[in-house]
């Protein structure tokens, strides 16, 4: 049977062990306060298109592929040379050169034979002044047929509004967060923005005019008169998107402190 001294020693050791275990145990995580809301936000700006892109080509046909190719390349080079002299600021580029065989009508039991070639030399023109698009097209009709005329934003125009898009997106974030907080927890709710993730900027497709190559062929253009084509460059809508994590916490109303109770003296017995 243990004596009193042994019991006292065991009790002290147990208390010390319990105290050490309590200090070593990790603190329980605090439950998050408030409501977490994932909030998608966007800001958009319309910007006038300031760049014209014109796709055009030369088409030649003949029985000898070498001669047809040389003729297409030369006509395209002559046309670009003339256009460069008229529009020195235009960015002109030679693009694809393609050849397509033309076959005889196949007869029963016989394979079709190549009787000729069609060679197409494609080029592009980029104009920094959209007002030049109509006269450029009129001038180019003497040398080329057309695929399309498009209008878009230059890289400089895009960059010029990026800061404004960010500012507007953040302002929209704060406005929407305030509206959500009011609906969830009242006008006195507190808002904490935990994170903001910006996404890639987006934009609508540029304005594009597709042109009938047969209607705007070089032969038709020679008899077309002096009327300028009509184009509307239009606008491009740039958008900046973000997703934010917002925590809404109800406001804790502070209760007025009560004055301490005053102890009344106990009347002495008579």
Tell me what pLDDT residue 216 has. 42
Residue 76, pLDDT > 70, answer: yes
Specify the range with the lowest mean pLDDT, choosing from 135-139, 155-159, 255-259: 255-259
Looking at the DSSP bridge assignments, the partners of residue 209 are 149
Q: Which residue has the higher pLDDT, 254 or 97?
A: 97
Tell me what pLDDT residue 218 has. 39
58 contacts 207 by C-beta, under 8 angstroms: no
Q: Give mean pLDDT, residues 71-79.
A: 95
Average per-residue pLDDT in the chain? 81
| Boundaries of every domain in the chain | 33-50+153-206+233-252, 52-105+113-152
Question: How many Cα atoms occupy the beta-carbon half-sphere of 207 within 13 Å?
Answer: 18
Specify the range with the lowest mean pLDDT, choosing from 49-53, 104-108, 131-135: 104-108
Provide the pLDDT confidence category of residue 220 given band limits of 50, 70 and 90: very low
Kindly report the length of the chain: 270
Tell me what pLDDT residue 251 has. 81
Provide the pLDDT confidence category of residue 262 given band limits of 50, 70 and 90: low
Query: What is the number of other CB atoms lying within 10 angstroms of the CB of residue 80?
Result: 22
Tell me what pLDDT residue 214 has. 40
Provide the pLDDT confidence category of residue 222 given band limits of 50, 70 and 90: very low
Q: Which two tokens stand for residue 168?
A: 């507007």
3-state per-residue secondary structure call for the chain: CCCHHHHHHHHHHHHHHHHHHHHHCCCCCCCCCCEEEEEEEEEEEEEECCEEEEEEEEEEEECCHHHHHHHHHHHHHHHHHHHHHHCCCCEEEEEEEEEEEEECCCCCCCCCCEEEEEEEEEEEEEECCHHHHHHHHHHHCCCCEEEEEEEECCHHHHHHCHHHHHHHHHHHHHHHHHHHHHHHHCCCCEEEEEEEEECCCEECCCEEEECCCCCCCHHHHHCCCCCCCCCCCCEEEEEEEEEEEEEEECCCCCCCCCCCCCCCCCCCCC
Do the first three CATH levels of 33-50+153-206+233-252 and 52-105+113-152 match, i.e. the same topology?
no
Residue 83, pLDDT > 60, answer: yes
Residue 267, pLDDT > 70, answer: no
Residue 146, pLDDT > 80, answer: yes
Q: How far is CA 150 from the centre of its chain?
A: 19
pTM over 0.75: no
Tell me what pLDDT residue 203 has. 66
User: Does domain 33-50+153-206+233-252 bear CATH number 3.40.50?
Assistant: no
Percent of the chain with pLDDT over 90: 57
Looking at the DSSP bridge assignments, the partners of residue 220 are none
Percent of the chain with pLDDT over 70: 71
Tell me what pLDDT residue 111 has. 82
Q: What is the rounded distance in angstroms from the CA atom of residue 156 to the CA atom of residue 26? A: 56
Q: What is the rounded distance in angstroms from the CA atom of residue 31 to the CA atom of residue 247? A: 13
For residue range 13-59, list pLDDT tens digits in order: 555 555 555 444 455 445 457 899 999 999 999 999 999 999 999 99
Tell me what pLDDT residue 28 has. 47
Provide the pLDDT confidence category of residue 213 given band limits of 50, 70 and 90: very low
Q: Which two tokens stand for residue 153?
A: 């934003």
Exposed e or buried b per residue across 202-215, where buried means at least 16 C-beta atoms within 10 angstroms of its C-beta? eeeebbebebebee
Tell me what pLDDT residue 34 has. 83
Is residue 120 packed enough to be buried (19+ CB in 10 Å), middle (13-18) or exposed (0-12)? middle
Provide the pLDDT confidence category of residue 219 given band limits of 50, 70 and 90: very low
Specify the range with the lowest mean pLDDT, choosing from 48-57, 68-77, 152-161, 245-254: 245-254
Class of domain 52-105+113-152: alpha beta
């Amino acid at each position: 049977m243990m004596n009193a001294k042994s019991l006292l020693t065991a009790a002290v050791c147990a208390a010390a062990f319990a105290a050490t275990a309590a200090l070593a145990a990790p603190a329980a995580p605090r439950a998050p306060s408030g409501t977490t809301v994932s909030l998608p936000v966007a800001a958009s700006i319309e910007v006038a298109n300031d760049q014209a892109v014109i796709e055009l080509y030369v088409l030649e046909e003949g029985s000898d592929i070498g001669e047809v190719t040389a003729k297409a390349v030369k006509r395209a080079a002559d046309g670009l040379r003339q256009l460069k002299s008229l529009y020195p600021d235009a960015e002109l580029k030679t693009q694809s050169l393609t050849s397509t065989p033309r076959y005889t009508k196949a007869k029963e039991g016989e394979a079709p034979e190549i009787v000729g070639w069609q060679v197409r030399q494609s080029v592009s023109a980029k104009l920094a002044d959209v007002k030049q698009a109509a006269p450029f097209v009129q001038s180019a009709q003497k040398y080329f047929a057309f695929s399309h005329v498009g209008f878009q934003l230059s890289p400089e125009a895009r960059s010029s509004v990026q800061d404004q898009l960010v500012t507007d997106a953040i302002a929209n974030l704060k406005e929407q967060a305030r509206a959500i907080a009011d609906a969830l927890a009242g006008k006195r709710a507190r808002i904490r923005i935990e994170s903001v993730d910006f996404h890639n900027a987006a934009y609508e497709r540029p304005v594009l005019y597709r042109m009938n190559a047969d209607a705007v062929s070089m032969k038709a253009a020679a008899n077309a008169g002096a009327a300028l084509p009509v184009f509307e460059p239009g606008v491009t809508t740039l958008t900046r998107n973000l997703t934010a994590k917002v925590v809404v916490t109800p406001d804790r109303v502070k209760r007025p402190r009560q004055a301490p109770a005053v102890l009344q003296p106990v009347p002495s017995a008579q």
